[in-house]
Amino acid sequence: MIYPEILAPAGDYECFEAALRYGADAVYLAKKSFGMRSAPENFSQGDLISACKSAHEKGIRVYLTCNTLPHSRELEALPDFAKEAAEAGVDAFIVSDIGVMSILKNLAPDIDIHISTQAGVVNHATASELYKMGAKRVVLARELHIDEIKTIRDKTPPELEIETFVHGAMCVSFSGRCLLSQYLTGRDANRGECAQPCRWSYAIMEKTRAGEYFPISESDGGTYILNAEDLCMIEHLDKLHSAGVSSFKIEGRAKSSYYVSVITNAYRAAKEHLLNHPGEPLPEWIKEETEKVSHRRYSTGFYFPVDPPTQNLSDGGYIRSWDVAATVEQSDGEYLMIRQRNRFFKGDTLEALLPLEKPVPIVADEIFDSEDQPADAANKAYERYKIRCGINLPEGTVLRIKK
């Protein structure tokens, strides 16, 4: 059985560093073009070179997304894109378009090809043909259940790696291929510009009764009829592993570094538990971590036929019960030098997020501002503070507080 990989997202360099700190085996990211997430900052060429160097020093792989569906005029930029990727040292391209795959294989033959979920691979014949064409890995469509994944594994070359999503936002369209955003806003989701209209509230209006809205559901606020729940497979990695999945992918290149830290850490801890304590229940603290980030209501997606995914019809918002309080910059065992992110007060209990460990509660017994004067609160965003808590924590440790 192939050792499972925890694949974390990074929309910017801060998220990339968080993924490395909290246990990713590999990180996927994008440059300024050809990626399915245009909203994040993404990576300049200099950032990409630095990221690959830093990751490879730690034995961590870097996958570069090239998974939009580019029009003919956009293909002219591919040679420079491939050249810069090779110079940076990326380990794989993530592609969805067969033409792009062919071009990249010719331009950068030493870089592996991973087939994006956007390609909609749902059967072993397609997966096998993509392998013959040069793909090292397929990211299967999200609409498959466990038994179908196992069939694909059993009927494809054993050298072909299989990757599936285990956590994050789901799309109401098939494997993310959607025209709704382009129709309503002119922003093409298939080129990374989705406006997420599936998260909006909808009602019906009859043509001759302008301004008179008829709700689709019984709620006075209308209905979020297209709003899919988020995916969470933290308790089922063993089933995916047994089905032959070799890479567990976390969605979230538009998410914060806090999200990347917490979810990467949770899935890495779950993986280690799976490998070191097979058959034993997952510790509660690992499951609880997935509730400590901003998320929609969770489901297990399409993986189990008896538990199909559902839509959250009542609202399009997030569940959010924790905030980042600060990050640690220095520690001497008694005092922490921190960079504040969200306000907290003297005497508040914070939680320190440590790699592969249960979160550690600490009390901010005393707070000192940047001029080393006593303070009742840390309330200036991104200012440096010092707190006395009697614990030594590594640089970069995330401190959070319950809302």
pLDDT of residue 1 exceeding 50, the answer is: no
Q: How far apart are CA 102 and CA 11, in angstroms?
A: 26
Question: For the chain, where do the domains classified as CATH 2.40.30.10 start and end?
Answer: 322-402
Helices and strands in the chain: count of H runs, count of E runs:
10, 22
The domain 322-402: what is its CATH number? 2.40.30.10
pLDDT digits (tens, 9 = 90+) for 97-111: 999 999 999 999 999
H or E element that contains 285: helix 284-289
| Mean per-residue pLDDT over the chain, rounded | 88
Residue with tokens 């003297």: 346
Sheet holding 349-353, edge to edge: 360-363, 349-353, 398-402, 322-331, 335-340, 384-388, 366-368, 374-375
Q: What is the mean pLDDT of residues 18-25?
A: 96
Question: For the chain, where do the domains classified as CATH 3.20.20.70 start and end?
Answer: 5-173+227-299
pLDDT digits (tens, 9 = 90+) for 65-95: 998 888 899 899 999 999 999 999 999 999 9
Determine whether 46 is exposed, middle or buried from the number of CB atoms within 10 Å of its CB (0-12, 13-18, 19+): exposed
Note the pLDDT of residue 69: 84
CB 64 within 8 A of CB 7: no
How many C-beta atoms lie closer than 10 Å to residue 374's C-beta? Answer: 9
pLDDT of residue 352 exceeding 70, the answer is: yes
Spatial CB neighbours of 52, under 8 Å, sequence gap ≥ 6: 62, 88, 89, 90
pLDDT digits (tens, 9 = 90+) for 287-314: 999 999 999 889 898 899 766 556 665 5
Note the pLDDT of residue 218: 47
Opening angle at CA 302, ends 267 and 175, nearest 5? 90
pLDDT digits (tens, 9 = 90+) for 208-227: 777 777 665 545 555 666 67
CATH top class, domain 5-173+227-299? alpha beta
Kind of pairing, strands 213-215 and 203-205?
antiparallel
pLDDT of residue 61 exceeding 90, the answer is: yes
More confidently predicted of 172 and 348: 348
